[in-house]
Structure 1
Amino acid sequence: MIKHIVMWKLKDHAEGADRAANAAELKRRLDGCAGIVPGMLKFEVALAQPGLEATYDAVLYSEFESKEALEAYAAHPTHKAVIPFIASVREGRQCMDFEV
C-alpha cells in the first residue's frame, strides 16, 4: 500500500479571494477526486481549524493499493483539472509518498 500525503500553505489573496475562501474551494475541488480510480483506498481532505496548531492550511491524506493506482490518480483528468487552481493559490507545498 502507498500512502500519499500533501500539505498546502495558501497565499493571503489569490484568484480574487482570500485564504479562507480559497481553502474552501481547494477542498471542494479535491473532494471531487475521491474514488476516481480503482485502487484508491482512502481519500480525505482537511482544512486547518481555528484554535488548533497548524503550519499549513490544507492537507490531503490518501491511500492507494499500489504505486500504479497512485500513478493512475495523478494522471486522471479530474485530478489534472484541479492542479491549475491549486498552483495559483498556493504559497507552498509539501508531499510525501511512502509504502507500508
Structure 2
Amino acid sequence: MIKHIVMWNLADAAEAPRFKEILDTCKGIVPGMREFEVAVRADGLEANHDVALYAVFDDAAALQAYIVHPRHQEVVATLPARVSRSVFDYAV
C-alpha cells in the first residue's frame, strides 16, 4: 500500500476552497485508489500549508496510474496559482 501526501501553499489563500473543489474531482478516477481526501487550512488550527491531499493506493502502479490519468493532468493544469508544493509518498 502507498500513501500519497501533497501539500500546497497558494498565491492567494482565499482560493483554497476552489482548489479543493477542483482537486476533489479526481476522487476515484483509477482502480486501486482506496482513500482520497482534500483539506483546506482551518482557522484556529495550526497549518503551514493552505491545502493538503491525503490519498492511499493499493500499490505504486495505482499511484502512477493516477499521476498520468488524463483527468488528473487536466486538474493540475487548471488549479489556482501555487507558490509551493511538498510531496511525501511512502509504502506501508
TM-score interval (norm. to shorter): over 0.9
The SS at the match of 1:7 is strand
Give the corresponding residue for 1:95. 87
How many Å separate the matches in 1 of 2:83 and 2:50?
10
Give the corresponding residue for 1:72. 65
TM-score, normalised to structure 2's length?
Answer: 0.95
CA RMSD of aligned residues (A): 1.0
> Identity of counterpart residues, as a percentage?
50
User: Unaligned stretches of 5+ in structure 1?
Assistant: 13-18
Higher CA-based Rg: 1
Poorly superposed stretches of 4+, deviation over 6 Å:
none
Alignment equivalent of 2:51, drawn from 55, 58, 76: 58
**Count of aligned pairs between the two proteins:** 92
Alignment equivalent of 2:33, drawn from 32, 36, 40: 40
User: Unaligned stretches of 5+ in structure 2?
Assistant: none
1:49-86 CA distances to partner (integer Å, 9 max, x unpaired)?
01111110000000000100000000111100111233
How many Å separate the matches in 2 of 1:58 and 1:5?
11
1:17-76 CA distances to partner (integer Å, 9 max, x unpaired)?
xx21x2111101111000000000000000000111111000000000010000000011
TM-score, normalised to structure 1's length?
Answer: 0.88
